[in-house]
Amino acid sequence: MRIGAIEAGGTKIVCGLGNEQGIIEDRVSFPTEQPEKTLPQIIAYFQDKHVEAIGIGSFGPINIDPSSPEYGHVTTTPKPGWTNYPFLAKMKEAFDIPFGWDTDVNAAALGEATWGAAQGLDSCVYYTIGTGVGVGVYAEGKLVHGLVHPEGGHILTRRHPDDTYEGFCPYHGDCLEGIAAGPAIERRWKVKGSELPPDHPAWAMEAFYIGQAVAGTILLLSPKRVILGGGVMHQLQLFPLVRAEVQRNLNGYVRAEAVLAEIDTYIVPPGLGDNAGLAGSLALGLNALRARV
């Protein structure tokens, strides 16, 4: 079985091939540019691959309502050329096969639930904290959609008492993304996060914001695992800081051993590493193929 996968991020597109075991057999990546330049590259990659289905995990916001005339569109993104772009329809014009379609972070959550850190569990939440912040939600054995889809990167947060940075989100200023994503770290401290030492005060401030968000997620959704991915979370010193902030925020209210005594195995990095999004897109394609049978 050969399944195609597209992890469409705001910065780069990753296309790949894999099988029903979640093994990625081939991949290619290129920058996310105007769709008129990007789509031909995607189509050319799959043209001779003979895939049986393709899963797309896309940057958003996107329309995931199958009853909507705009189903499969990228909607209100600030990414030039992509606003209201019919991404899925353009792919279907090129390939007459089943397609899976969801957000890139929902895809990552599905990948982790299928083959990664949440395998065997019926719920998890996946945060990607990088150029932006996104949240994917897998609950009771399926991905969560609803009115649109989870947009947990834009929840509002309490300000750290020492933080004077105004936030960069064009919609909300100092929402979680605006104050905790990679660009916020760089603009606040005038250097890329990867250049800051592990004991820099930036990381305690970062954990302050992420810990608030994760504690709120635990209270609202009660996931059985929380997975923190994305480029910012490559700073592994963040994990103990975030776990401590979560416990401080919850203050013993959630009487679960996973939070009270086993938090090191409850809030974790992706089991699939940087493959979470692509593997999750593979799982979307696999599910679409199985749904057609």
Sign of CA dihedral 233, 238, 243, 248: negative
For residue 78, what pLDDT is reported?
78
Domain locations in the chain? 3-103+274-292, 117-269
State which residues of the chain have pLDDT below 70.
293
Give the tens place of pLDDT for each residue, 148-200: 898 999 999 999 999 999 999 999 999 999 999 999 999 999 999 999 999 99
Q: Give the separation between CA 267 and CA 290, rounded to whole angstroms.
A: 31
Q: Give the separation between CA 71 and CA 147, rounded to whole angstroms.
A: 13
- Would the CATH topology of 3-103+274-292 be identical to that of 117-269? yes
Sign of CA dihedral 55, 57, 62, 66: positive
Which ranges constitute the DSSP H helices of 136-232? 176-180, 182-189, 201-221
- Domain at 3-103+274-292, CATH class: alpha beta
For residue 290, what pLDDT is reported?
95
CA-atom Rg of the chain in angstroms: 19
Q: Give the separation between CA 172 and CA 149, rounded to whole angstroms.
A: 18
For residue 293, what pLDDT is reported?
62
Pick the CATH number of 117-269 from 3.30.420.40, 1.20.272.10, 3.40.50.2300, 3.40.1000.10: 3.30.420.40
Instruction: Report, in this order, helix, strand and coil percent for the chain, each rounded to 5.
Output: 40, 20, 40
Other beta carbons less than 10 A from residue 162's beta carbon? 9
Rounded to two decimals, the pTM is 0.95
Q: Using an 8 Å Cβ cutoff, are 85 and 73 in contact? A: yes
Other beta carbons less than 10 A from residue 247's beta carbon? 17
For residue 148, what pLDDT is reported?
86
Q: For 171-198, what is the HEC assignment?
A: CCECEHHHHHCHHHHHHHHCCCHHHCCC
